Structure 1
Amino acid sequence: MTCTSDYDDEELNELLSKRAAEEQRRAESEKRKQSEIESQREAALRAILTPEARQRLSNIKLVKPDFANSLSDQLIMLAQSGRIRVPITDDDLKAILSQLTEQNRRDFKIQIRERGWNEHA
């Protein structure tokens, strides 16, 4: 019976090794795809942003990576559809950021109404 058990262990180890190798290949493939998408995004940003604007976007990315990625995607789409003037200068980007922060400020206004402390007294 130990022969069968040894054989099963070898077969199991081989299957586990194959599965691990397959997972590693899949992870590497996904990493390559992400890298390719990022390089395409960077190339598009180089084409539509001035160096100063790209630097500002890089600085934003250090602090708020999700916001910077979303902003990058939107800028690329606007430029490709012709809805924004290219190249986008640092001043243009500042104006866009100012508009976005103003919109967010308006969205998050909180009104507090005070009630009397002794309503039941």
Structure 2
Amino acid sequence: MSDEYDEELQDLLRRKAAEQQRRALEEQQRKAELEARKDAILRAILTPEARQRLTNVKLVKPEIAEAIENQLIALAQAGRIQAPITDDELKEILAQLTSQTKKDFKITIRERGWK
């Protein structure tokens, strides 16, 4: 009885592990397809120089690059982008976005009566 139970348990664990592995593979494939679609859209709406600049931004500030990519893709899908975006136009977009997200830090030093 114990051997049957152990075999069933092992079989159940193997099936569960196989299912988790299959799900992980499907998720990885889905992400790869999504990235491929994003790249295709960006290739169509950006000049090579602008794509290179966006790649450089992604290396330094991935969250800003992701925001710009999503914004550009949404505009392209809505039909609001007519011609490929040049490097200079992308620079303007980057400047606008970074000026909106830039935080001002102020350090105040208060003197205390330490002796």
Q: Deviations over 1:23-66 (max 9, x none)?
A: 11111111111111100000000000000000111111112223
Provide the TM-score with structure 2 as the length reference. Answer: 0.85
What is the aligned counterpart of 1:6 among 3, 13, 29? 3
Comparing 96-105 and 6-15, the one that deviates more: 96-105
Deviation, structure 1 residue 18:
0.3
Percentage of pairs with the same residue: 56
Aligned to 1:45: 42
| Preserved contact between residue 50 and residue 87 of structure 1 (Cα < 8 Å) | yes
Radius of gyration: which is bigger? 1
Question: Counterpart of 1:37 in 2: which secondary structure?
Answer: helix
Point out where structure 2 has 5 or more consecutive residues left out of the alignment: none
Question: How many residues matched?
Answer: 113
Shift of 1:84: 4.0
Under a length normalisation based on structure 1, what TM-score does the superposition of the two structures give? 0.81
Q: Tell me what 2:94 maps to.
A: 97
CA gap of 1:94–1:85, structure 2 versus 1, over 3 A, is farther
**Which residue number in structure 2 is paired with residue 109 of structure 1?**
104
> Relative to structure 2, which stretch is displaced further, 50-59 or 70-79?
70-79
**C-alpha root-mean-square deviation of aligned residues, in Å?**
1.9
Partner letter of residue 10 of structure 1? E
List alignment gaps of at least 5 residues for structure 1: none
Moved over 3 A (4+): 82-85, 110-118
Question: Could you tell me whether the CA contact under 8 Å between 1:52 and 1:90 is conserved in 2?
Answer: yes
- Cα distance in 2 for partners of 1:95, 1:85 equals 17
